[in-house]
Amino acid sequence: GTHPSHVYLAICMWTCLEAVPIAVDQTKVSRPAENLEPPKSVDTGLHYDRYLREVVDFLEKDPHFREKLHNTDMEDIKQGKLAKELDFVSHHVRTKLDELKRQEVNRLRTLIKAKQDIEGGRGLKIDHQALLKQFEHLNHMNPHTFEVDDLDRLIKSATHDLENYDKERHDEFKRYEMMKEHDRRERLKTLDEDARKKEEEHYEQMRRKHAEHPKINHPGSQDQLKEVWEEADGLDPDDFDPKTFFNLHDTNGDGYFDEQELEALFTKELEKIYDPTQEEDDMVEMEEERLRMREHVMNEVDTNKDRLVSLDEFIIATKRKEFLEPDAWDTLEQNPIYTEEEMRQFEEHLTREENNLIQKTADLQKQREDLERQQQQLNAQKLELQQAVEHMERLKTQRIELSPEAKGKCACGCSINVYTTDSWTWP
């Protein structure tokens, strides 16, 4: 998938406007401010991705802001100093930013309303604080104009969210692995002794088979890159040249390795471990291994921590001992993803969730039964009311028939007049 660092860099680094795919089409920079078209750039994965990218794209169009971006230190940008420059951008850009903010506020309001309707309809308690958190990247108290505070909030939110993006991916992977193990254990409980023994033997066989793979080169090492140079690029490993290698694999030609371009370098290594046609190989685990490799190289090579690898950083890294004589690389199966204690806590959590679900189901069933009883009572009352109305109609009809003109005889044969006052008149 697409990685979020591209846009993070666009708002947090002066290099980013030329370095990452926010503005790969450099012709956009020279367009007049009046020609404001929606940007075409990669998805960050953040829920406010489109708003973030469009704000960055339109700010980039302003010459004053662009110049300040190039001449402002990254830490100063993070601390909000760049946001103050918003007061000096052109009227055209400010007008467009106002419009973008109004659209974003409306989008968030619609999102929260839908969430409230869904949760309210299920009888669930609505966590308003969690819903309001959706607004942290802008000042929703002023929904009409884009101000300095809005840009400051956007930079800080994106910085925080994108810096924690990889951690969330690791946490999600850990939950995936624990759920996989939980399901396996639950399945074993349903089997008899012989079937359980066979299942365990098969499981161990698959683990051993997965672990049997060629030697994995240390990510970012000379051996690893030379293998790409030889097998992917078709070049002589004896002619390996770092600068040529960099230019070959800087696929968008921006002068930097971004996270996607780095991860692409590890495909050959990952193919040694993972085969989508084999039962023992899990492609979700392959993506976690890819993430581990990329993080490792970034930590070693990205010295200014801008989440990009420049040519200079790359060349310097190729001269280090770690590049020429790297340690062995421990693959995912050599690094326990979770402890048995974490597994125990996870299963307890699952049990609590299951019990809560059972309780909610029972509560809903009780509510249903109560509603059905109430409906029956209403139906009975409706029937009684209908019968009472019919009885009154019959009485009314009888009274009309026994009007003053109506004649009758009593039991003894005497003639009588019956009046509506129900008084008897003897002749």
Mean pLDDT by runs of 10 across the 427 residues of the chain is 42 38 35 43 71 90 87 78 89 94 89 75 60 78 91 88 85 96 95 96 95 93 96 94 96 91 95 94 96 94 88 95 92 91 95 91 91 93 92 86 58 50 45
pLDDT computed for residue 150 by the predictor? 92
pLDDT number for residue 40: 45
Q: Please report the DSSP string for 315-330 in residue order.
A: HHHTTSHHHHSPPPPP
- Say if residue 256 is exposed, middle or buried (CB neighbours under 10 Å; 0-12, 13-18, 19+): buried
Q: Which amino acid is at 179?
A: M
Q: What is the pTM of this model?
A: 0.64
Q: Which residue ranges make up each domain of the chain?
A: 48-154, 191-338, 342-385
> Cα angle at 217 between 302 and 305, to 5 degrees?
10
The pLDDT of residue 67 is 87
Other residues' Cβ atoms within 10 Å of the Cβ of residue 361: 10
Please state the φ and ψ torsions of residue 166, each to the nearest 5 degrees: -65, -40
- The two tokens of residue 166 are 């990889």
Per DSSP, 256 falls in state: E
Longest dimension (CA), the chain: 141
Task: Look up residue 355 and give its two tokens.
Answer: 């019990």
Q: Choose the CATH number for 191-338 among 1.20.810.10, 1.10.238.10, 3.30.700.30, 3.30.1600.10.
A: 1.10.238.10
Point out which residues pair with 417 in neighbouring strands.
407, 425
Q: Distance between CA 225 and CA 264 in Å, rounded?
A: 11
Question: Angle CA(320)–CA(323)–CA(326) in degrees, nearest 5?
Answer: 120
pLDDT at 296 (0 to 100): 95
What pLDDT is attached to residue 45? 67
| Res 412: pLDDT | 53
Which structure tokens are listed for 269? 């290594």
